[in-house]
Amino acid sequence: MARKSLAALSLVAAVGVALTACSSGGPAQSGGATGAAARDTINTVLWYAPSNFDPATTASSPDYTAARLGFDTLLRKGDDGGYVGGLATDWQAESASAYVFTIRDDATCSDGTPITAQVVADSLTYLTTSEAAGAKNWSGLAFGPGTPTFTVDEQAGTLRVDLSEPYSQLLGGVTLEGTGVICPAGLADPEGLAAGAVDGAFSGPYTLTAYSAGVSATYTLRDDYDAWPAWEGLEGTPATTINITVESDSNTSANLLASGGLDVARFYDANATRFVDDDAFSYVTDNATANTLLFNEDPSSVFATDRDLRAAVAQAVSAQAFNAAALDGLGNLMTSVTDSGFACVSDDESLLQEYDPTAAATTLAGTTVRLLTMTNWAPAVDYVTEALSAAGATVQVTSLDASEWAKQLRTEPTTWDLTIRGEANSSGLVHQALLTKIGPSFTEGGSNYTSSDNPEGEAFLAAALASSDPDEQCTNLLAAQRTVLERVDVAPLATSTHYIVAREGVRATTFSGYWDVTALRLTS
């Protein structure tokens, strides 16, 4: 078992959709050659279009990418697993249940409204009381399983957060895109906020100035913005304009990047090899997306109470073959619910199901499996479908775009049995992955996609989140993983290594393994 310090208590929302534009990354590098379109503009691309501009209710990667540009959070990730201030200049964890933040006195909304402690409290109250599935997910990841209470001291400029249940990961939680502070104008018009139509809603450096549904979004730097996090070693100047277009084909994105039609793009497949050894480009690599088979154990699912059937699916699908088919062999095989290089991740391979299609067929033959997938990932879907079919299962595939896929997973558990899920984990901490597989389901107000009933795992996870001792946290996190893997609530496959590639004149910088899109800089 891997046992490491949990000094960095942070997490990211469990909505893993790979993007070609922004995620987490490794040490920044720089390259040469002619490049960024106009020297005040960065052109980038996503696989899917953003469709919801309310950070609190976002449910897919393109939406929370947009949220990062427009809405500041209390804290941001810094170097070496630490944090830097966002809207907070100082923060203190009095215990696992009580936290105090001092709000900076120079931040304003895009309409000039001062961002006070009360503005922050109102936004977080909106997040934690919303009935939207996305908001429940963000709230649980940020503030844990209990109920937060926000108390403002306007004279001191502080916001106090008291939790009904201890949650040692809150500091990392308030770095999440979904906790982005919505200004009063946005809270007054939730419908307009979600549509991106409230000019005064934004608290971050950029505002949405043009949007074509399903096609593109343009963000413009605020003239009055001066609340950048105090990141160290960040070189260059922010772009006046960030243009986001949508392109589902990685080959097309690579061609556009090579020809100058794009300045920044992200790849998980062999297209990355076109750039990594080319001095005309720089790149960073991210804290890989964990790709797994996730089982639905709602009573309506064929996998509800059948651990042997779940195990047979895991036996039928080869992680190595999945890596080759879906990731061009560039990924790393998993040993647990998230990247095996992260802290407190189990490396006990005896807990995994061995690839054995012959044995799988004895159980799977004649079973109908409803496979819910995302569009634009045909190689992964084709391989899993073929593997299950070869073992005698009948596979019914439903492919949806990112937002609809995420919505159906959370809100319609009676419509699917199995999904291929790519889960981003820029926190580098295993508890984020466990929160989506242990505890109440989304329909019960939790964030568990599997609808599993695992009281033993819940107890171990609760103990880890209530503890301030790194060793105690790790012991309980390892025990919680054991329960999930023994039950076969998930079948680990491979983590995808993403390459964020930039042309000369554009720099992508990373912070503790996380690439923040607002830290993109023009260097010439």
Tell me the average pLDDT of the chain: 88
Contacts of 253 (CB under 8 A, 6+ apart): 20, 45, 247, 262, 265, 267, 271
Instruction: Express each pLDDT in 405-442 by its tens digit.
Output: 988 998 999 999 999 998 877 666 788 899 899 999 98
In angstroms, rounded to a whole number, what is the distance separating the alpha carbons of residues 95 and 88? 18
More confident residue, 247 or 304: 304
**294/395 same-domain check:** yes
Residue 470 within a domain = yes
Place of tokens 């919680």: 480
Q: How far is CA 509 from CA 25, 285, 457, in A?
A: 8, 10, 37
pLDDT of residue 426: 61
**183/73 same-domain check:** yes
Residue 35 within a domain = no
**392/406 same-domain check:** yes
Residue 9 within a domain = no
More confident residue, 82 or 286: 82
| Amino acid, single-letter form, for residue 199 | D
Mean pLDDT score, 253-273: 93
In angstroms, rounded to a whole number, what is the distance separating the alpha carbons of residues 353 and 488? 8
**Most confident by average pLDDT, 59-73, 180-194, 281-295:** 180-194
Residues 49 and 185: beta-carbon distance below 8 Å: no
* Beta pairing class for 368-374 and 394-400: parallel
**515/491 same-domain check:** no
Task: Tell me the pLDDT band of 37, cut-offs 50, 70 and 90.
Answer: very low
- Which secondary structure element, helix H or strand E, spans residue 243, and what is its range? strand 241-246
**115/155 same-domain check:** yes
Q: Which two tokens stand for residue 198?
A: 């409230």
**314/359 same-domain check:** yes
Task: List, as own/partner pairs, every contact residues 219-227 make where C-beta atoms lie below 8 angstroms and the sequence separation is at least 24, other chains included.
Answer: 219/66, 219/69, 219/70, 219/243, 219/244, 222/110, 224/108, 224/112, 226/106, 227/72, 227/86, 227/87, 227/104, 227/106, 227/107
Residue 475 within a domain = yes
Residue 6 within a domain = no
Assess whether pLDDT exceeds 70 at residue 14.
Answer: no
CATH number at residue 381: 3.10.105.10
Mean pLDDT score, 452-469: 93
Residue 26 within a domain = no
**254/319 same-domain check:** no
Residues 502 and 286: beta-carbon distance below 8 Å: no
pLDDT of residue 464: 92
Percent share of the chain, pLDDT over 70 = 92
Q: Nearest-CA neighbor of 235 among 507, 511, 513?
A: 507
In angstroms, rounded to a whole number, what is the distance separating the alpha carbons of residues 502 and 521? 11
CATH number at residue 173: 3.40.190.10
Instruction: Express each pLDDT in 425-434 by its tens digit.
Output: 766 678 889 9
Task: Tell me the pLDDT band of 287, cut-offs 50, 70 and 90.
Answer: low
Task: Tell me the pLDDT band of 288, cut-offs 50, 70 and 90.
Answer: low
Instruction: Express each pLDDT in 299-324 by its tens digit.
Output: 999 999 999 999 999 999 999 999 99
Q: How far is CA 74 from CA 171, 198, 203, 340, in A?
A: 9, 22, 11, 29
Instruction: Express each pLDDT in 164-180 by its tens digit.
Output: 999 988 998 999 899 99
Axis crossing angle, helix 378-390 with helix 357-364, rounded to the nearest 10: 70
pLDDT of residue 427: 61
The neighbour count for residue 350, using CB atoms within 10 Å, is: 6
pLDDT of residue 244: 94
What single DSSP character describes residue 180?
A: P
**238/375 same-domain check:** no
**168/300 same-domain check:** no
Percent share of the chain, pLDDT over 90 = 69
Residue 3 within a domain = no
DSSP letters, 35-50, are --SSTTEEEEEESS--
Instruction: Express each pLDDT in 366-384 by its tens digit.
Output: 999 999 999 878 999 999 9
Residues 429 and 477: beta-carbon distance below 8 Å: no
Which residues of 363-449 form beta strands (DSSP E)?
A: 368-374, 394-400, 418-423
Instruction: Express each pLDDT in 211-240 by its tens digit.
Output: 998 899 999 999 999 999 989 888 899 999
**78/222 same-domain check:** yes
Task: Tell me the pLDDT band of 387, cut-offs 50, 70 and 90.
Answer: very high
pLDDT of residue 497: 79
Q: For 264, how many CA atoms within 13 A lie in the half-sphere containing its CB? A: 31
In the chain, DSSP finds a helix count (H) and a strand count (E) of 15, 23
3-class secondary-structure state, position 122: helix
Residues 37 and 263: beta-carbon distance below 8 Å: yes
Helix %, strand %, coil % of the chain (to 5) = 30, 25, 45
In angstroms, rounded to a whole number, what is the distance separating the alpha carbons of residues 387 and 365? 12
* Structural domain that includes position 264: 41-286+498-522
**376/517 same-domain check:** no
**173/238 same-domain check:** yes
Q: What are phi and psi of 482, to 5 degrees?
A: -55, -45
Place of tokens 């647990």: 336
* Beta pairing class for 368-374 and 418-423: parallel
Task: Tell me the pLDDT band of 35, cut-offs 50, 70 and 90.
Answer: very low
Residue 248 within a domain = yes
How many domains are contained in the chain? 2
More confident residue, 391 or 35: 391
Mean pLDDT score, 261-283: 92
Assess whether pLDDT exceeds 80 at residue 27.
Answer: no
Q: What are phi and psi of 139, to 5 degrees?
A: -60, -45
